[in-house]
Chains A and B, each alone.
Chain A
Amino acid sequence: MDLHRIVERGLKKAEMLGGSEAEIFIVRELSTSILGTRKGLENIECGESTTVSIRLAIGKRTTLQTSVLSGEEHIDRIVEDAIKVARVAPEDRDWVSLPKSLGKTPVYDIVDDRVREPDLEMFIELIKRGLEGSREIDRRVYTSEAKLSLSHFVRVIGNTNYSPIESEKTMFSYVVMIKAAENGEETGYHNYYIAPTLNEFRLDKVVEDAVRIALASLKAKPIETGKYQVLLTPRVFSSILSSLIVPAVRADMVIKNRSPLKNKLYSEVLSEKLTIIDDGAAPNMPSSSEFDDEGIATSRKTLIDRGVLVSYLYDTYTANIDGRASTGNARRTSSMVYPDATNVIVLPGAQSLDSLTRDVRRGVIVYGTIGEWLSNPVSGYLNATVTNGVYIENGEERHAIKGIVVSGNIYEVLGRELVTVTKEYENVGSMMVPSAFVERISVAGK
């Protein structure tokens, strides 16, 4: 299927049927996944699918429709559905227009030929190593599951104001689940790596880290309820940032009064130790691309500068409401376009993780949590259950912890309670973050 031709055909059809503006976004994804379990190699799945999303306006009546494309002529039917729905949609007073021009930012390291045209043998070997490698490190552990996925995306977008543009990207992900068993007790930890290329992928490190944390989680005990010093490792810190800070800097949430950061531009909202950047064009990061999901060139922008809020994230719709320009942060789901973070980068600090650990008088290192999604970005209230963590007293690791919940107001936790962030940092999905050392967090234990 010629994606450009489908975009042009759909736009023409939309105009012919009475659409005043239309935008067509097509993504073709070719993907391969390989699964291995404790029993060995299991399966390989490989295929392609083409998804089309159309945004259409009749005056101020707008709609967004998404479908899977079975052939070129299928676009006509999707446009007809969109016209039918737009006619019964209520007028949106805030609607101005689709983007008036489209563009691209050059981005390095987002296409890897090894992922685009995979050599299955090489990737099967990676799964086998993931299955076998853990046992070689420690006899108490085994890999219960190893899975890798390879995807190649071609994205084409055009609208009735501008000719179609195209970009391509690859994505590699590797997930490993490690179980540790001793004296009838079993613990587990899953580790993952995701990036457009294999350039920085080190399988041994992914497995070793998972083995270390799974073992450290054995013989876990509850701790007393109280206030503790807490070291949030990059994985946990990034998860808290995505649950509580990212939603609060989205312009749509601010406009709908669903952000505690409304009317806080240029005020100090977090600790001066924190500088947070959103970069849609960072090399070899998962959310990098040449343009966002409505064809606006991606960019790097500072959101929090030494604790001071300096920008929200905008797409064209919210930028029009606030009289600003889009920041290139449009994200598209099957039913809406909204501004969202791309890659989030937290600038590292000066102290090492080891030296900070030695400074802990009574605290916990948190390696893994679940249930952060129960946190409330509207109020800024953090709530997470610790699945993997270690209790520390006077700089020494005492024992693993279980069954505890950490909670508090995130603007206090990452405000006056934040001691510092470490100089070491990690890539965790679309985030590049250090560890965060917090002086006091409420811990509900026994």
Chain B
Amino acid sequence: MSIDIYFGRKIVDSVLEKGVEDTIVRLQERVYELIIFDNGVLRSYNISRSSGVGVRVFINGSTGYGYTSSLDWDSISTAARRAVKSAKSLSRHGVSKKMLSYEGSKCVYSAPIKLNPMDVDSERKVSLIKELNLASIKKEGIVSAVTRYGYEMDRKIIVTSYGSEVDIDVRAVGISHTAIAKSGDIMERVHEQKTFIGGFEHIDSFDWFKFTEEIDGLALKASQAKTPPPGIYTAVIDNTLIGLLLHEAFGHAAEGDIVASGASVLRGKIDESIASTKVTIVDDGLAEGGYPVPYDEEGVEKNKTVVVNEGVLKRFLNSRYTAIELNQDLTGNARAQDTNFDTIVRQTNLYMLPGESRVDELFEGISIGFYLLGKGAMGGQVDPSVGTFTFSVGPSYIVRNGEPSELVRGTVVSGNILETLREVDLVAKDLKITTSVFGGCGKGGQMVRVGTGGPHIRVKRIVVGGI
């Protein structure tokens, strides 16, 4: 059985007959294809298909959520019945929540695709990944390489009692490559991925051998590099790294549920200056290069939300629940991994808007500093309640007399995100946003695809350390 708006509307109508005040019905079909070559050997080739229905009801100030992976009417009725029973149980215990009302709208969104990857011969896909992987491990100095191909079709239908009828079909395809290079006793690992929204035409038209060669080359160079001299420096941060830092250290603190629970450093700071006037940060459902989220999973349109405008905090990211709690507007940020989960507040494509400087201008006047890069970054730890972050960044360059000079490995940056954003003195005009078919954000045990990025920026002072 396939899913469509008509089926969703039928479920909404039947749920409304159970005496609920409002309901959101979500249907989903997903196909995920993953091929992994590990040191020349096919380690995994998986095609995973899933589908499901989720029903959220609101009764007397309480919500209940029911779901099923079966698409037959009996299973769906049972899921709805469970949702109603759950909400009524909470209501009897005096739970009294409010949900912001909204005017529903209709939308069909389908990301353009020319060649469906599932129609492409398996052997062709396997041989491309194998060749890329073998070419890597044959290089002198590369001791291990893992190359992956991923394709995802994610179709979501959201029908609500507020009149929203949303049908979204997004296909994403990409290749990732991890190279481990060894020089003496030093091993250095560099991982990078490239994802396109669309079909296999993107695999056919991109130079993947050049892509993996660059990763191998960076791993080799990094394995011969030194670790950086620790200290406080002026740094130029590239598009990838600023995206990661903003998502983890700032974006989560701007999520309405974290703010409402009192665990965000941004709580109570609306209309306050929290960053340099050069900084404007938005969460945009349809950013070029990012992951398309035209509507959220409460059926609310996801527009471009201005979170920070010229340094001033303007708005949090909200669901219908947190919008009421925080006395703000809806922003369309209620998202879920799949129908097995009810929604929580999530970012979509959160990034800094570009400025007016040329990238080379950012380096001018730096006698000694850093050019910090995101490619090969290993991630980090953040505490949104105080805004602290520690990030292991990718192989980066020391800047001497206005020019990137020698490469360094094992670079760690740390600080407080608000202090760091106040130190931004130049923002370049080169906006770049990327997404990934291999990962995303894992808040609350739910993986959702996001986009991250921004322009090159310059930060006057940042703590740089080495490991």
Contact = CB atoms under 8 A, between A and B. Distances in A.
Contacts of B86: 32, 43-46, 120
A336 B34 CA distance: 13
Interface in B285-332: none
Nearest to B126: A88
Contact of A68 (B42, B47, B49, B89): B49
Given A68-B51, A120-B86, A37 B46 contact: no
Interface string B79-108: 100110111011011010000000000000
Interface in B190-209: none
Contacts of A38: 261-262
A287 to B, nearest CB: 20
B69 interface: yes
A368 to B, nearest CB: 16
Kindly name the residue among A41, A46, A121 whose own CB sees the greatest number of chain B CB atoms within 10 A: A46
A335 B46 contact: yes
Contacts of A42: 95
Given A41-B95, A65-B46, A335-B44, A49 B89 contact: no
A67 B72 contact: no
Interface in B208-244: none
A47 B46 contact: no
B64 interface: yes
A45 B67 contact: yes
A81 interface: yes
A104 interface: no
Given A37-B261, A65-B47, A70-B69, A47 B89 contact: no
Nearest to A69: B69
Contacts of B356: none
B405 interface: no
A38 B261 CA distance: 8
A88 B69 contact: no
Contact of A88 (B34, B65, B95, B122): B122
A37 to B, nearest CB: 6
B99 to A, nearest CB: 12
B411 interface: no
Contacts of A275: none
A37 B258 CA distance: 12
Contacts of B50: 67-68, 70
A47 B49 contact: no
Kindly name the residue among B66, B75, B86, B87 whose own CB sees the greatest number of chain A CB atoms within 10 A: B86
A253 to B, nearest CB: 15
A49 B340 contact: yes
Contact of B89 (A69, A120, A128): A120
A67 B122 contact: no
Contacts of B79: 46-48
Nearest to B130: A90
A323 interface: no
B93 A128 contact: yes
Kindly name the residue among B66, B69, B89, B340 whose own CB sees the greatest number of chain A CB atoms within 10 A: B69
B93 A124 contact: yes
B45 A50 contact: no
A47 B48 contact: no
B447 interface: no
A65 B48 contact: yes
A90 B89 contact: no
Contact of A46 (B52, B65, B92, B261): B65
Contact of B66 (A47, A74, A88): A47
B41 A90 contact: yes
B343 to A, nearest CB: 10
A150 interface: no
Contacts of A85: 45-47, 122
Interface string A18-40: 00000000000000100001111
B420 to A, nearest CB: 22
A120 B261 CA distance: 25
Nearest to B40: A90
Contacts of A44: 64-65, 86-87, 89-90
Contacts of B63: 43
Given A44-B89, A67-B48, A49 B68 contact: yes
Contact of B85 (A48, A64, A77, A120): A120
A66 interface: yes
A121 B70 contact: no
A68 B69 contact: yes
Interface string A133-164: 00000000000100000000000000000000
Contacts of A40: 95
A48 B65 contact: no
B283 interface: no
A69 B69 CA distance: 7
Interface residues of B, number: 45
Interface in A51-84: 51, 63-71, 74, 77-78, 81, 84
Interface in B323-347: 340-342
Contacts of B92: 121
Contact of A334 (B46, B54, B70, B122): B46
Interface in B26-66: 34, 41-42, 44-52, 54, 63-66
Contacts of B68: 47-49
A350 interface: no
A390 B95 CA distance: 39
A46 B49 contact: no
B115 interface: no
A128 B95 CA distance: 12
Contact of B69 (A41, A49, A81, A144): A49
B17 interface: no
Contacts of A37: 261
Contacts of B185: none
B65 A70 contact: no
A47 B51 contact: no
Contacts of B90: 41, 43-44, 124
A65 B32 CA distance: 11
A172 B254 CA distance: 34
B69 A66 contact: no
Given A50-B69, A120-B85, A128-B93, A81 B47 contact: yes
A96 interface: no
Contacts of A128: 93
A81 B83 CA distance: 34
A89 interface: yes
B364 interface: no
A413 to B, nearest CB: 23
B104 to A, nearest CB: 22
Kindly name the residue among B45, B66, B68 whose own CB sees the greatest number of chain A CB atoms within 10 A: B45
A45 B65 contact: yes
A144 B51 CA distance: 34
B67 A49 contact: yes
A16 interface: no
Kindly name the residue among A64, A144, A335 whose own CB sees the greatest number of chain B CB atoms within 10 A: A335
B336 to A, nearest CB: 11
B119 interface: no
B243 to A, nearest CB: 25
15 contacts: A43-B342, A44-B65, A44-B86, A44-B87, A45-B342, A46-B64, A46-B65, A47-B66, A48-B69, A68-B48, A68-B69, A70-B69, A87-B122, A144-B261, A335-B44
Given A43-B90, A45-B341, A74-B49, 7 more contacts: A49-B69, A67-B50, A70-B69, A81-B49, A85-B46, A121-B89, A124-B93
